[in-house]
Amino acid sequence: MTTADESGPAARTGLADGEWHRLHPATPLLRGGLGFVAIVGIIIANLRERLVEWFLPGVCPPQGRACSQGDPFAYIVENGYALIAALAVLGILLLCIALFYVSWRMNTFRITDEVVEVKSGVLFRTHRKARLDRIQGVAVARPLFARLFGTAKLDVEVAGQDANVPLAYLGNTLADALRADILRLASGSRAASTSGSPAPAAGSLLGRRASELLAPELDPNLAPPESVVRMHPGRLVGSTVLSGTTVALLVVVAAVVVGLVITASGGRELVWTLFTFVPIAFGLLSYQVNRLLKFLRYSIAATPDGVRIGYGLLSTRNETVPPGRIHSVAVSQSIFWRPADWWTIRINRATRQTSSEGQNAQQSTVVLPVGSRDDVFRVLELLLPGLTEGGARDLFERGLAGRDADADFTVSPRRAAVVRWFSWRRNGFALFPGAVLLRRGAIWRELAIVPTPRVQSVAVEQGPLARSLRLANVHVHTVAGPISPRIGALDVVDAQALFRDVAEAAVAAAGTDTTHRWRASEA
Partner 1 sequence: MSALDPDSLSENGGGEWRRVSPKFVVVDLLSTLVSAVLFIVGAGVPWILSGVPWLVVLPIAAFVVHALVAAFTPRRVRAYGYRLRADDLVFRKGIMFLRVVSVPYGRMQLVDLTRGPLARAFGLSELKLVTAAAASHITIPGLAEADAEALRDRLVELAESRRAGL
Strands of 366-371's sheet in order across: 366-371, 343-349, 326-333, 445-451, 435-440, 428-432, 410-411
Which CB atom, from 208 or from 470, has the smaller least distance to partner 1? 470
Which CB atom, from 372 or from 484, has the smaller least distance to partner 1? 484
Question: Shortest approach of partner 1 to residue 463 CB, angstroms?
Answer: 5
Contacts of residue 354, Cβ cutoff 8 Å, sequence gap at least 6: 161, 162, 361
DSSP 192: P
Which CB atom, from 82 or from 510, has the smaller least distance to partner 1? 510
Question: Shortest approach of partner 1 to residue 505 CB, angstroms?
Answer: 10
Which CB atom, from 185 or from 376, has the smaller least distance to partner 1? 185
Question: Shortest approach of partner 1 to residue 468 CB, angstroms?
Answer: 7
Which CB atom, from 152 or from 350, has the smaller least distance to partner 1? 350
3-state secondary structure at position 349 = strand
Which CB atom, from 120 or from 351, has the smaller least distance to partner 1? 351
Which CB atom, from 22 or from 517, has the smaller least distance to partner 1? 517
> Is residue 137 within a helix (H) or strand (E), and if so which, with residue range?
strand 135-142
Q: How far is CA 19 from CA 25, 111, 151, 289, 390, in A?
A: 18, 7, 22, 44, 47
Q: Of 448, 459, 408, whose CA–CA distance to 432 is shortest?
A: 408
Dihedral angle sign, alpha carbons of residues 200, 202, 204, 210: negative
Which CB atom, from 291 or from 346, has the smaller least distance to partner 1? 346
Which residues contribute to the site for partner 1 (CB under 8 A)?
133-134, 136, 159, 324, 327, 350, 453-454, 456-464, 467-468, 470, 472, 475, 477-480, 484, 492-493, 495-496, 499-500, 503, 506-507, 510-511, 513, 515-516
Q: What is the C-alpha separation between 396 and 402, in angstroms, rounded?
A: 9
Phi, psi of 382 (to 5 degrees): -75, -40
Question: Shortest approach of partner 1 to residue 461 CB, angstroms?
Answer: 5
Question: Shortest approach of partner 1 to residue 205 CB, angstroms?
Answer: 43
- HSE-CB of 197 using CA atoms within 13 angstroms: 13
Question: Shortest approach of partner 1 to residue 136 CB, angstroms?
Answer: 8
3-state secondary structure at position 222 = coil
Beta bridge mates, 299: 310
Which CB atom, from 64 or from 464, has the smaller least distance to partner 1? 464
Question: Shortest approach of partner 1 to residue 385 CB, angstroms?
Answer: 17
Q: What is the C-alpha separation between 487 and 505, in angstroms, rounded?
A: 18
DSSP 61: -
Which CB atom, from 185 or from 301, has the smaller least distance to partner 1? 185
Q: What is the C-alpha separation between 47 and 45, in angstroms, rounded?
A: 6
Work out the angle between the directed axes of helices 233-241 and 267-295 (0-180°, nearest 10): 150
Contacts of residue 189, Cβ cutoff 8 Å, sequence gap at least 6: 519, 520, 522, 523
Question: Shortest approach of partner 1 to residue 323 CB, angstroms?
Answer: 11
Question: Shortest approach of partner 1 to residue 515 CB, angstroms?
Answer: 7
Question: Shortest approach of partner 1 to residue 474 CB, angstroms?
Answer: 10
Torsion of CA 35, 37, 42, 44, to 10 degrees: 160
